[in-house]
């Protein structure tokens, strides 16, 4: 027995291809006419830029695969799968002398499992890219990598190449998704590692003093598979999309997948409100910092759930936007090509540690 009809949220394969063709036409038209109104504000990370390298192929070498999991690079991968042209991906180290960009995933360097090819002469003009999707608390000891990298590939909007966990794209067909019905829980939270010291744990605890919160995940001894996760969330009015870090722009699949695709209104905490406003549609989430106390937040959620009309307003954004998740490392690597010609002629991260872990005020 279902709460929300999650099938409705899935677009069939056929429709996907049609959408793709449509989107390409839309892109070409947009080049002629400029982006439609209301599109600009959320497109800081849109892959289509006005940089052009006149059809030259760019070669991206991934020195080792993130977390040791390799993927096939057969054919014209970036074009065939992601419609990114003139972009060659390689994981063959023999390509080093020919690579325009060599990519190093941060974790393995930090854990000493992989090394930089410091002994090889670096070809003129070659750029070394530092790639990470982790939040800064997990990125200590970056000091050893000063004066080595020319570019950053992270989820941050101010990275040279931004590779977010997800993003919204304008919807071309006015396909209207239904507001999920038959909610059985007010607020749900899924948590594996509960730490009383975390701010999110304190907010959760305080919230339970005002309203009921249903908890799932390893900590509550109610683990969910990735399939049952979305279904469970669809039964909730609100889902606590609490990030485990408050770092700049660190907005993960908790928002993009769990909340948005699960069909619950996300209550977010992590990066500041403005970081969310920059990438997520208005009235698609509720930020904890918008309230002067957790009690006030609790009261707001309670009232919203009781008022069908006002609750429904938190889904109207879905008429204009659809969510795109980014989960494929190859897509992230291909996206480097989209930015390649926008990169500064010369750039060196003289203090990568300071860039990666800016002192928050």
Ligand X SMILES: *[C@@H]1O[C@H](CO)[C@@H](O)[C@H](O)[C@H]1NC(C)=O
In the complex, the residues that contact ligand X under the rule CB under 6 A are 2, 5, 50-51, 55-57, 107, 110-111, 125, 127, 138, 147-148, 150, 181-182, 199, 202-203, 206, 294, 342, 346-348
CB 186 to ligand X: min, Å: 17
3-state SS, residue 131:
strand
Q: Where are the alpha helices (DSSP H) in the chain?
A: 13-33, 77-82, 106-110, 199-207, 226-234, 253, 260-262, 273-279, 294-306, 308-312, 329-339, 352-356
Q: Mapping DSSP to helix (H, G, I), strand (E, B) and coil, where does residue 212 land?
A: coil
Q: Give whichever of 41 and 182 is closer to ligand X, judged by the CB atom.
A: 182
Q: How far is the CB of 342 from ligand X (least distance, A)?
A: 6
**Nearest approach, Cβ of residue 247 and ligand X (Å):** 13
Q: Report the nearest approach of ligand X to the CB of residue 18 (Å).
A: 26
Bridge partners (DSSP) of residue 321 are 170
Nearer to ligand X, 111 or 359 (CB): 111
For tokens 């991906």, the residue is 89
Closest distance of CB 237 from ligand X, Å: 15
- Is residue 37 part of the annotated active site? The answer reads no
- Cα–Cα distance measured from residue 204 to residue 202, given in angstroms and rounded to the nearest whole number: 5
Residue 291 Cβ, how far from ligand X at the closest point, in Å? 10
Closer CB to ligand X, 19 or 135, in the complex: 135
CB of 5 to ligand X, least distance (A): 5
The Cα–Cα gap between 279 and 301 comes to: 23
d(CA 105, CA 97): 19
Of these residues, 37, 108, 134, 209, which one is catalytic? 134
CA distances from 340 to 86, 104, 122, 151, 180 (A): 11, 16, 18, 10, 42
The whole-angstrom separation of Cα 279 and Cα 274 is: 9
Rounded to whole angstroms, the Cα distance separating 227 from 27 reads: 33
Question: Cα separation of 136 and 123, whole Å?
Answer: 31
10 Å Cβ neighbour count for 189?
25
CA distance 243 to 269: 6
Burial 267-301 (b: 16+ CB within 10 A, else e): bbbbbeeebbeebbbeebbbbbeeeeebeebbebb
> Of 217 and 281, which CB lies nearer to ligand X in the complex structure?
217
Catalytic residues: 134
């Amino acid at each position: 027995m279902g709460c929300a009809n999650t099938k409705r949220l899935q677009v069939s394969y056929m429709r996907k291809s049609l959408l793709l063709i449509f989107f390409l036409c839309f892109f070409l038209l947009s080049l002629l006419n400029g982006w439609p109104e209301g599109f600009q504000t959320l497109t800081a990370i849109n892959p289509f830029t006005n940089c052009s390298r006149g059809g030259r192929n760019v070669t991206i070498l991934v020195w080792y695969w993130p977390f040791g999991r390799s993927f096939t690079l057969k054919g014209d991968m970036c074009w065939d799968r992601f419609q990114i042209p003139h972009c060659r991906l390689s994981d063959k180290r023999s390509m080093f002398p020919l690579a325009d960009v060599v990519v190093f995933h941060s974790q393995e360097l930090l854990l000493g499992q992989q090394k930089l090819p410091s002994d090889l002469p670096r070809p003129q003009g070659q750029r070394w890219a530092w790639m990470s999707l982790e939040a800064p608390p997990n990125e200590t000891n970056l000091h050893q990598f000063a004066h080595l990298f020319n570019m950053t590939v992270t989820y941050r909007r101010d990275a040279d190449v931004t590779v977010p966990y997800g993003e919204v794209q304008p919807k071309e067909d006015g396909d209207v998704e239904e507001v999920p019905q038959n909610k059985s829980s007010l607020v749900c939270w899924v948590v594996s590692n509960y730490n009383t010291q975390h701010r999110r744990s304190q907010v959760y605890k305080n919230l339970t003093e005002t309203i009921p919160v249903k908890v799932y995940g390893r900590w509550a001894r109610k683990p969910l598979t990735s399939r049952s996760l979305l279904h469970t969330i669809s039964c909730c009015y609100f889902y606590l999309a609490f990030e485990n870090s408050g770092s700049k722009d660190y907005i993960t699949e908790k928002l993009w997948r769990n909340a948005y695709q699960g069909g619950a209104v996300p209550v977010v905490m992590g990066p500041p409100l403005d970081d969310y406003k920059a990438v997520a549609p208005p009235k698609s989430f509720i930020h904890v910092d918008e309230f002067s106390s957790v009690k006030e937040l609790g009261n707001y959620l309670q009232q919203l759930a009781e008022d069908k009309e006002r609750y429904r307003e938190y889904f109207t954004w879905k008429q204009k936007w659809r969510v795109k998740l980014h989960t494929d490392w190859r897509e992230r690597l291909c996206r480097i090509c989209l930015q390649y010609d926008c990169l500064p002629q010369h750039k060196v991260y003289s203090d990568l540690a300071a860039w990666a872990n800016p002192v928050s005020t």
